[in-house]
Structure 1
Amino acid sequence: MAEIKYDIVEEFGAVSETGSGWTKELNLISWNGRDAKYDLRDWSPEHAKMGKGLTLSKEELKGLKELLNSMDL
């Protein structure tokens, strides 16, 4: 399996944290040298390991924001 390279360009914050220290975070990440995208996924402490996540373009993130704002939470 090919190595995945990533560069966390900007950290926006954690949405939640587990008892083991893993956090679900929203970050701006460049994957394999490509343009940075918004990324929501689980990270171990110090970003040593990651879980599966969701990567969104700026337009997709705006659409998600509109959808969430329209919901009665």
Structure 2
Amino acid sequence: MVLWEASEALKVPVNALFRNRDAWAVFTMVDGRARSVEVTVGERTDTEAQIISGLAQGYIVVRFPDDRIETGLRLAPPP
């Protein structure tokens, strides 16, 4: 059974998404620092979410963000 299909869809892990007031957001890593970016989410599965706007391909997103992460916080590069 196919839940949804999209050619060239931008996807992120659902565990990277968090609520920022009434919007969905992700933290990206830009120049070694966290940056909160509001995104528009399309289709979702248990593990992935389609990003319709707000994020471009190639950005590193933070998975499992917690309350200690805020814009400007220095992040270690992924292994």
Q: Same fold (TM over 0.5)?
A: no
More helix by share: 1
Structure having greater relative contact order (Cα 8 Å, sep ≥ 6): 2
Query: With structure 2 as the length reference, what TM-score do the two structures score?
Result: 0.27
Q: TM-score, normalised to structure 1's length?
A: 0.28
